[in-house]
Each structure stands twice: as C-alpha cells, then as structure tokens.
Structure 1
Amino acid sequence: MPEYAVDRLVLLPDDIDLSRSPLAGHIDAETYVLGAFNPALTRLPSGNLCMFVRIAEALRKPISDGHVHAIRWQGSEGGTGGYVLDAWPLDLVDTADPRKFMMRGGGWKVMALTSLSWILPVELTPDGLEVVAIHYDKAIAPQGSYQCYGVEDARVSKVGDRWQMTTCSVSPERHSTTLYSSDNGLDYAFEGIVLDHQNKDMLIFEGLVGGQYWAQTRPLGDLYFAYPPGSEWRAGPSINLATSPDALHWKPHLQPGIRPHAATIATARMGGGTPPILTNEGWLTLWHGVEPSGIVGIYRTYWSLLDRDNPTKVIRTQHSPLLEANPDLTRPIEHQMYLRDVVFTTGIADGGDHYIVASGEADLACRITYIPKSVFAAG
C-alpha cells in the first residue's frame, strides 16, 4: 500500500460520551462503545466537514446466568420507544464472532447482535483533522420496528442542493436500506425504506446521470450462480446499479456494475465504499474487497473510475489496494481491539490537490487519509 502524507485516527471509542447516548437511562445494564467507526463524510455550508459515525453500543457483560443478551428498541402505542434486553440460552447460540451470535438449528442462518448501533454527527475542521463539535442532539437512532436492532453504516451524498443519507436498518422483519434527507447537511429527516432485504452498502452518486439519480447497491444471498469456465469474473457478492427519478423509488439497472475479478482472491466479496463523485475523467468510486480469512476476512479499499454518461462501464481500476488496515494507527488502543485486518472506507471529500478519505479502522475508530488526486490519473 502507498504511504500517504496524512493518515491518522481522528475519533476513538473513548471520545464518545454515552451519558448522552439515545440508550442512556433506558436499560438497567452497563454499556460501552464497542466501536465508533465507518463514518460517512460531507462538507457543510460552513466549510467544515462532518462525519456521521456508527456508534456500536454494547453490553459490558453480555453473558450472565447462562444467557447471552441483546439490546433491542421497542416501540409503544404512543409512538415513542425505549430499549429492552433479550436473553438467549447459551446452548442455543454460537458466540465465536464478537460482533454477533448465531442461533443453532432452524435450517437457515439466524443471528442477533452483541451491540446496537446509532449514527452520531461529528463536525470536523475543514481539513478533517480536528473535532469541532459532537452533535449528540442530532443523533439518528431507531424509531421503528424495522430498525429495532440498530441503524448502521451511513453514507452521505450531496445531489444538487440536498443531502441524501442512506443507512442500513436491522430487524427481524427485514435488513433494509433506509433514507434520510437534509437541506443543510446536518439535520436529517426520515424518508422511509428504499431497498428491502439485505441490500447493503447503497451509495447515491453525487450528481444526476441523464436526469436520474443513480446508486450502487449490494444485494446479499446464500446462493450465487457460477460464471462459465475461463470467465474473467468470479461468482459472489458484487456492486450492482440502480436508478431513480426521485431518490425514493429505485429500479435495478439491467447491466452489472463492479464484479469480483477471477484474477484475485482479495476481492472475492465486494461492496460499495464512498459515494461516487464526478471527476474530469468520470465517476470515482472507492469500494471494499474482502479476502476470505478466519471468521471476518481481510478488508481492503480499492478504486474504480466509471464512465460519466454510462456508469456501467469501468474506465480504469487496479487490483492493488488503495488502503489496508494499519496496525501502527491502532497500537495506542490495542487494549480495545477485537478485530484485525479491517479497513472499511465510507466517505470522501475534496481537499484541493487531494481527497480527504474517511474510513472505519478495525470496526473500532475513524481514520482520515489524504490521498493525492494523482493516484487516480492515467498512466
């Protein structure tokens, strides 16, 4: 991986005040910040940057009295809600992954989470390197049964004069993509569910193409059909495309988007990272590739340049990673580490001769990297 002039952690779990969490006072159990990570990034009208950070709030002692416990939002008849704890007998679950536990039996995969996530706006200086304010009063938290297990992994795109934020909402009902919008980049209104069932990493292009909104999506499943022998593509999760007249109603595009390449196992699974931004050459998109390894895999960041008028066409890309996990960054918080080999890039902003790129590092902290624009140039 190249070395970059600026590459640092700007927000750590210990920076978060859980006394101001949406969960505070709702459950009779101690919680802690399992991770403050996967930040969306946008520039506000003031010139400051703003991250929208996923806060994974977990029980300090999830296992007690022979049960593992999960936090769940629960609504009430009056339209308000609170948080409750559910208990599952240990002999019914597999707790090998620190982020979740799997239910045994049943004939298909069923899981619950060891934490509940909500989205916290964190305002930064224009260079993205210092925290100006943490806006606890503007946090985005569960508000319906469709997100009773949390709101995860925001991505923010500015299209015209409005900001569009996609999030992943988690519940037993569905694993859906929910949309929020804003006219100032900081205060967001809920617009509804826009994609259903395990369609993750939805990224709205920062601009219209042919008068339409475009987005990258990533449907998941347990079954994929093989490409023919000798194909340049590998079967598995890929980045698809969709279009919409209004950012609310989406239609999958007939042509595929970015697919796993047969030449490398490092991107055997892939998904969107940063909202595509328009450059002089086309749409620049940063995305993640996952190399199978252990329970979680090795997450790295890659890039592709898409045709400005036909984003199904990849103009240029590279097999070598743009970003990898950096153990030097997390060494001061080694005592909080529970995952390794994970960088998950989720935000990008223009910084002049470079891009300011925001990532989640080790599902634990927020990382800012300055990547020169020359990295993406031809030749």
Structure 2
Amino acid sequence: MTFPQDRLVFTPADVDLSRSPLAADLHGQTYVLGAFNPGLTRLANGNLLMMVRIAEALSNPKRDSKVHAIRWADGHYHLDGWPLETVDTADPRKFMIAGSGWRVMALTSLSWLLPVEMTPDGLDIVAVHYDRAIAPQGSFQCYGVEDARISRVDGRYVMTSCSVSPERHSTTLYTSDDALDWTFEGIVLDHQNKDMLVFEGQVGGQYWAQTRPLGDLYFAYPPGSEWRAGPSINLATSPDLFHWRPHLKPGIRPHSATVATARIGGGTPPILTDDGWLTLWHGVEPKEVVGIYRTYWSILDRDDPSKVVRTQHEPLLEANPTLTAPLEELMYVRDVVFTTGIADAGDHYVVASGEADLACRITHIPKSVFA
C-alpha cells in the first residue's frame, strides 16, 4: 500500500553524540549505527513523543586481531575484545561466539532510548530531550536498552523495553505521568521474551499484554494444520501491570499457507476501536541472514483478545527503498520495516516504524484501511 504522508523523520544525522550517555567514556570512538524503532505516544500538549532507539557502535571495532563490543558496568562503558578467529560476523548487528556448544552472541552496538518530541502530525521535530534519555542502569542492561513501546493506560504512561545482558534477555517496565520523566519499575518478563505490548485499556478488569517468547525449539502442529510452528504472539494478564500471568489461549500465530509470516511478533500496543482491539504486528519471511520484515494488522475481540475478528494477509507496510536512498552509504540491512507505535489523529492514525534498522519512519494511515 502507498500513503500520501510516508517519510523518514529522524535519522542518524539528527543525533548529537556529544550528548550521548556514552560520551564521557567513549567520546569520538563511536557513531550512530541506527536511530530507529520508536515508541510513540501523544503528550498532554498535543505533540507526539517518539522514544527512539539509538544504536551506538564503535567506529573501529576490529583491531589487534580482536572484535570489540561495548558493555556498561559500575556506571561506566567498557570495551571487551574477542579473538577474530572465534567469532562469526555475518550479521552486521551482532557476532556469534563459537565454542560453547550452544548459541552465544554479542552485539556490535549498545542501544539507549532518546525522547524526541514531534509536531502533532509526527512529521517535524520540536525538541530532542537528551537530558531525559534512558540508558543502562544495572547489570541486567549491560548491553543496552532496546525497542520501547508506549501505552496510555488509566491516565498514565506505561513503557516496556527490552534489556540485554548475559544474565537475561528481559522485558523492563517504566511508568510516567508525562511521558518525559520515567520511573524504572523493574523486570516484568524474564529471559528472551520480546515485544511486550500493553493494551491501551483494561479487559474484564485486568490489564492485558501481547508477548513474544523466544526459543530454539518449537513443537510441530499436526500435518495439514493452518498454523506454522515458530515464534508467535502470546497473551498475558495482570492485576497491577507488574505481575503477569500467561493467558491459556494463544494469540496471533503464523499461518502455514504463507512463508511471508513464518516468524511473527508484536508491533504497536493494541488500541480500542469500535470493532475491537487494533494491533499492528510484524511478519518475517526468511531470506539470507536477516529476513524480510513487513507490517500486518489484525482486530481482536474487545472482550476476548485471543479471538481475531478481522485481519488481512496482504502487508500494510513494506520497506521503502525510495525513503532510504539518500542514506545509501549508511545502509547495513535491507527489506526491514519494524512498526512500533501508533497514535490517533482523527480520520487517520500516525504510525511510527523503524526503517532498515536505520531511521524513524512516520506514515499516516486512514482509518478506512481497517474497515
């Protein structure tokens, strides 16, 4: 699909690394690998707030026969080196470390979250709030804080993020009264559970969320099933936003009829419409190292979000090479659009995505598309 307002609004060139949380320890040694996957919400003043993931990478990671990664510890950022002969660097976002008997990886960048205030239509930058950036603050985040998702629930803002460390790959929760000053609330989902999206409203007196547990092993559906085994979107409920219980029924699952959604995960926090909960999610088609990421949509039953009321198997958004053409020299992955935020704008939605793991993309999508 094509839409009249569809553009990149924040790119690596818009980031001032002299104001980065890493600057005091690594000044001049890093560059912005990507400014992408923005959480999105509307502020009290009517402006939109993007919480942008800044992936900050070493300008010269390979030296002295080693490849280096950035790690936070005890209030400072340090460099760790692995011998080049022990790693696989086929994926530009990470490198795999051999010799463990199972998969172990390190990242080529460390991510932190940057609040970027936008005009009400999401198309122009109003202010970049470096003083309110969210960076690692504990050993459970020593390799970074990634992919914020923001929901407005019961008059307050709730933000989930993925915290990365050797200890665990966890989901961490932040809350705020204004979406600018955030309070860290702790770990709410443990090891390798990504893309946690809190519904913007309660269902049956409880808070609901979409989750996406990961693993290296999936059990097969029976031959002829309409479902494909692999990463899918699950559901969880909570009485207080802090303690979550997995829902017995599955959420959105990959269809066996198409390889385009062989792997799926959550995109935008579900919002309530007249027809049910609208959720945008990503499907990944296997291709080379990274795959092809596209955005899809579903409407879930307002009283039982495990039921899909309506969906469309054609993608809503695909990667747009025209948008990234001016940034060609910075490209390191392709065929990736990763939608992470949505805001109501009357007759349309403002939808925020990460484009090519590089920049923030804003698209205006008419509500009629989901009718």
TM bucket normalised to smaller: over 0.9
Residue in structure 2 matching 1:339, options 325, 333, 336: 333
Aligned twin of 2:222 = 228
Aligned twin of 1:149 = 143
Aligned twin of 1:214 = 208
Taking the aligned partners of 2:2 and 2:121, their CA distance within structure 1 comes to 19
Query: Is 1:326 the equivalent of 2:347?
Result: no
Aligned twin of 1:251 = 245
Deviation at 1:178, TM superposition (A): 0.2
Taking the aligned partners of 1:175 and 1:106, their CA distance within structure 2 comes to 18
Deviation at 1:68, TM superposition (A): 0.3
Structure 2 segments unaligned to the other structure (5+ residues)? none
- Opposite residue 244 of structure 2, the aligned amino acid is W
Query: Any conservation in 1 of the 2:40–2:343 contact (CA below 8 Å)?
Result: yes
Residue in structure 2 matching 1:162, options 156, 160, 164: 156
Aligned twin of 1:355 = 349
Taking the aligned partners of 1:120 and 1:156, their CA distance within structure 2 comes to 13
Aligned twin of 1:190 = 184
Query: Is 1:30 the equivalent of 2:29?
Result: yes
Taking the aligned partners of 1:366 and 1:106, their CA distance within structure 2 comes to 36
Query: Any conservation in 2 of the 1:39–1:359 contact (CA below 8 Å)?
Result: yes
Taking the aligned partners of 1:65 and 1:342, their CA distance within structure 2 comes to 33
- Opposite residue 21 of structure 2, the aligned amino acid is P
Taking the aligned partners of 1:318 and 1:206, their CA distance within structure 2 comes to 22
User: Aligned runs of 1:272-351 on 2, under 5 Å?
Assistant: 272-351=266-345
User: Aligned runs of 1:169-184 on 2, under 5 Å?
Assistant: 169-184=163-178
What SS does the corresponding residue of 1:319 show, helix, strand or coil? strand
Query: Any conservation in 1 of the 2:123–2:362 contact (CA below 8 Å)?
Result: yes
Give me the TM-score of the superposition, normalised by structure 2: 0.99
- Opposite residue 207 of structure 1, the aligned amino acid is G
What SS does the corresponding residue of 2:147 show, helix, strand or coil? strand
Query: Is 1:202 the equivalent of 2:196?
Result: yes
Deviation at 1:29, TM superposition (A): 5.6
Taking the aligned partners of 1:20 and 1:186, their CA distance within structure 2 comes to 17
What SS does the corresponding residue of 1:318 show, helix, strand or coil? strand
Give me the TM-score of the superposition, normalised by structure 1: 0.97
Structure 1 segments unaligned to the other structure (5+ residues)? 76-80
Deviation at 1:28, TM superposition (A): 6.2
Taking the aligned partners of 2:187 and 2:179, their CA distance within structure 1 comes to 20
Deviation at 1:105, TM superposition (A): 2.0
Deviation at 1:40, TM superposition (A): 0.4
Taking the aligned partners of 2:120 and 2:27, their CA distance within structure 1 comes to 40
Q: Number of residues paired by the alignment?
A: 371
- Opposite residue 117 of structure 1, the aligned amino acid is S
Deviation at 1:27, TM superposition (A): 2.7
Query: Any conservation in 1 of the 2:146–2:162 contact (CA below 8 Å)?
Result: yes
The one-character-per-residue Cα deviations of 1:31-86 (angstroms, maximum 9, x if unpaired) are 000000000000000000000000000000100010000000001xxxxx010000
- Opposite residue 47 of structure 1, the aligned amino acid is G
Aligned twin of 2:69 = 70
The one-character-per-residue Cα deviations of 1:131-153 (angstroms, maximum 9, x if unpaired) are 00000000000000000000000
Taking the aligned partners of 1:28 and 1:128, their CA distance within structure 2 comes to 31
Query: Any conservation in 2 of the 1:27–1:85 contact (CA below 8 Å)?
Result: no
What SS does the corresponding residue of 1:229 show, helix, strand or coil? coil
What SS does the corresponding residue of 2:363 show, helix, strand or coil? strand
Aligned twin of 1:6 = 5
User: Aligned runs of 1:359-374 on 2, under 5 Å?
Assistant: 359-374=353-368
Taking the aligned partners of 1:7 and 1:216, their CA distance within structure 2 comes to 27
Query: Any conservation in 2 of the 1:216–1:242 contact (CA below 8 Å)?
Result: yes
- Opposite residue 237 of structure 1, the aligned amino acid is P
Q: State the Cα RMSD in Å.
A: 0.6
Query: Any conservation in 2 of the 1:29–1:59 contact (CA below 8 Å)?
Result: no
Query: Any conservation in 2 of the 1:202–1:218 contact (CA below 8 Å)?
Result: yes
- Opposite residue 71 of structure 1, the aligned amino acid is I
The one-character-per-residue Cα deviations of 1:303-339 (angstroms, maximum 9, x if unpaired) are 0000001000000011100000000000001010000
Query: Any conservation in 1 of the 2:7–2:323 contact (CA below 8 Å)?
Result: yes
Aligned twin of 2:44 = 45
Taking the aligned partners of 1:60 and 1:352, their CA distance within structure 2 comes to 44
Query: Is 1:54 the equivalent of 2:48?
Result: no
What SS does the corresponding residue of 2:317 show, helix, strand or coil? coil
Residue in structure 2 matching 1:110, options 104, 111, 128: 104
Taking the aligned partners of 1:25 and 1:114, their CA distance within structure 2 comes to 19
Q: Per the alignment, do residues 107 and 29 of structure 1 end up closer, same or farther by CA in structure 2, a change over 3 Å counting?
A: farther
Taking the aligned partners of 1:126 and 1:27, their CA distance within structure 2 comes to 35
What SS does the corresponding residue of 1:329 show, helix, strand or coil? helix
Taking the aligned partners of 1:117 and 1:234, their CA distance within structure 2 comes to 32
What SS does the corresponding residue of 2:24 show, helix, strand or coil? coil
Deviation at 1:160, TM superposition (A): 1.2
Taking the aligned partners of 2:177 and 2:363, their CA distance within structure 1 comes to 27
What SS does the corresponding residue of 1:91 show, helix, strand or coil? helix
The one-character-per-residue Cα deviations of 1:92-147 (angstroms, maximum 9, x if unpaired) are 11111111000012110000001000000000001110000000000000000000
* Percent identical residues: 77
